[in-house]
Amino acid sequence: MNIKAVARRAGVSTATVSRTINGSDKVTPKTAERVRRAVEALQFYPDTNARSLGSGRSSLYGLIISDITNPFFPELVKAFEDIAVEHGQEVLVANTNYDPARMESCVTRMMQRKVDGVAIMTSEMEDRLIRVFNHRNIPLVFMDVGAPGPGVSRVRVDHAAGVAMSMDHLIGLGHRKIAFISGPLDLFSARRRFEGFLESLDRHGLKRDSAMIEEANHRADGGHDAMKRILDSGAKPTAIVASNDLTAIGAMGAIHERGLRIPEDISIVGYDDIQLSAYTQPSLTTLRLPRAEIANAAFRALYSALQSEAKKPYVGQDYDIQPTLIPRESTGPIPRGEAKQTRKGKPSN
C-alpha cells in the first residue's frame, strides 16, 4: 500500500495526502477527514524516514537516563512518553548505567536516528558530547546539571531543600543521632543531597560523625551493605536518611536482619517516592520527586526550542522543581531510652 492508493481512494492529489499526514493547515477539514478515512481503510502507515526528509524533522525525541533498573526512571520515561504522544512525537530511550562509555554510544544513537531534541535525565555529560548536539542545532534539556544557554534548558530540583525536609521531620520527632547513606558522590544530585544533610546538621547544631555517613550506589544492595557497615561500626543511629528509595529499601533489609524494628528502634527516610515505597513493610517515609512535572518541564523545554527555531535562536531557561515530604510508617518518635538520655543532657552524637 502506498500514498498513491490513498490519494485515489480519497479523490485527492498525493500532495494533499502528504499535507494531511503532516498536519498542514492548508487542507480543509472536510478534505482532511476524507484522507484520514482512506488512510484508515487502507491501513496505510507513512514512512517516518521519508517524512523527515521532507520536513527536516523526525518527530523523535531522545531521552537519556541513568539506570533503567531503578523504578524512578521507568516512571519518568512513561510520563515523558505520555506527553510526547499527546503532541504526536515518538521517544527514543537510552540507558547509560552510569557509564561514560555508554553515554558516548547513547549520543551516537541519537545522531544516527536524527532526533529533534534530547532530554538528558542523568549525570553530567562531557562538554565535547554537548558540542556534538550544539553543532547540529539540536536542543537539549538537562536535569540538575549544566546551565541554560542557546538551545539548552535545565530542570532544576532543589535536592538540598528536600533532605532538609527529611531532617526537620526526624528532628521534630526527637531524633539527634541521624546517619546518612549517600549515592555515588560523583553524581551532582547525590552530592547536593549529601551537602543538604551536612547543612542540616550544622543548622541544628548537631555534630558531624564519619561513622554515621556511608557512600553507596543508589541501589538496594548498596543500601543494604552501607547499613551493615554503620551498624558494625558501633554507631547507634536512631534514624537514617537515604539518598534514594532503593538505598532505603536495602537498608531496611539490613535493619530487619539485625532484629531491629522500624520505626520503634530506627526510623528511616528515602528519596524519590517510587511506587514500591508505599508497599514496603513498614511503608517508607520519603521525598516525592514529581515525575510528571519533571517530564512535562523537560518536554516543554524541547518543544519550545523547536517551535521558536525558525523565528529566532531559543535561549534556554530553568524549570524549578520542589520535592515534597511524604510521611509514612517508617518514621516515628525517638526510642524511649534515647529520649531519656537527651533530656539528661548527654551527648546526642
More confident residue, 265 or 145: 265
d(CA 158, CA 322): 6
Residue 179 is predicted with a pLDDT of 98
Q: What is the mean pLDDT of residues 272-276?
A: 96
Residue type, 144: D
Q: Model confidence over 74-90: pLDDT tens digits?
A: 999 999 999 999 988 99
Q: Are residues 274 and 296 located together in one domain of the fold?
A: no
Asked whether residue 154 falls in the same domain as residue 294, the answer is: yes
Three-state secondary structure string covering the chain: CCHHHHHHHHCCCHHHHHHHHCCCCCCCHHHHHHHHHHHHHHCCCCCHHHHHHHHCCCCEEEEEECCCCCCHHHHHHHHHHHHHHHCCCEEEEEECCCCHHHHHHHHHHHHHCCCCEEEEECCCCCHHHHHHHHHCCCCEEEECCCCCEECEEEEEECHHHHHHHHHHHHHHCCCCCEEEEECCCCCHHHHHHHHHHHHHHHHCCCCCCHHHEEECCCCHHHHHHHHHHHHHCCCCCCEEEECCHHHHHHHHHHHHHCCCCCCCCCEEECCECCHHHHCCCCCCEEEECCHHHHHHHHHHHHHHHHHHCCCCCCECCEEEECCEEECCCCCCCCCHHHHHHHHCCCCCC
Residues 334 and 201 in one domain: yes
Structure confidence at residue 56 (pLDDT): 60
- Give residue 189's domain range: 159-288+326-343
Q: Are residues 19 and 87 in the same domain?
A: no
Q: Would residue 188 be called left, alpha or beta, if left means φ above 0 and alpha means ψ between -120 and 50 degrees? A: alpha
- Write the CB contacts of 259 (distance below 8 Å, at least 6 apart in sequence): none
Asked if residue 316 belongs to a domain, the reply is yes
25 and 88, same domain (yes or no): no
Q: What is the band of 311 on the pLDDT scale with cuts at 50, 70, 90? A: low
| Residues 331, 182 share a domain | yes
pTM for the model stands at 0.80
Asked if residue 268 and residue 211 are part of one domain, the reply reads yes
Confidence of residue 347 (pLDDT cuts 50, 70, 90): very low
Q: Is residue 348 part of a domain?
A: no
> Looking at the structure, do residues 223 and 138 belong to the same domain, yes or no?
no
Residue 308 falls inside a structural domain: yes
Amino acid at 100: P
Predicted confidence (pLDDT) at residue 3 exceeds the cutoff of 90:
no
Number of Cβ within a 10 Å radius of residue 171: 18
Could you tell me if 268 and 170 lie in one domain?
Answer: yes
Within a domain: 51: no
Residue 209 lies in a domain: yes
Rounded mean pLDDT of 188-198? 95
Residue 321 has pLDDT above 80, yes or no: yes
User: pLDDT class for 348, splitting at 50, 70, 90?
Assistant: very low
Total domains in the chain come to: 3
Residue 91 clears pLDDT 70, i.e. is over it? yes
pLDDT tops 80 at residue 124: no
Residue 164 lies in a domain: yes
Q: What is the mean pLDDT of residues 261-274?
A: 98
275 within a domain of the structure (yes/no): yes
Residue 153 lies in a domain: yes
Residue 236 belongs to a domain with what CATH number?
Answer: 3.40.50.2300
CB atoms within 10 A of CB 23: 10
Which phi-psi region, left, alpha or beta, contains residue 174 (left: φ > 0; alpha: ψ -120 to 50)? left
Q: pLDDT band at 21, cuts 50/70/90?
A: confident
Q: Domain containing 9 — which CATH number?
A: 1.10.260.40
State pLDDT tens for residues 43-62. Answer: 776 655 555 545 567 789 99
Tell me if 76 sits within 8 A of 134, measured CB to CB. Answer: no
319 and 333 assigned to the same domain: no
85 and 184 housed in the same domain? no
pLDDT of residue 58: 79
Q: What pLDDT is recorded for position 308?
A: 74
Give the mean pLDDT of 243-271.
98
Task: Answer yes or no: are the C-beta atoms of 214 and 205 closer than 8 Å.
Answer: no
* 114 and 139 co-located in one domain: yes
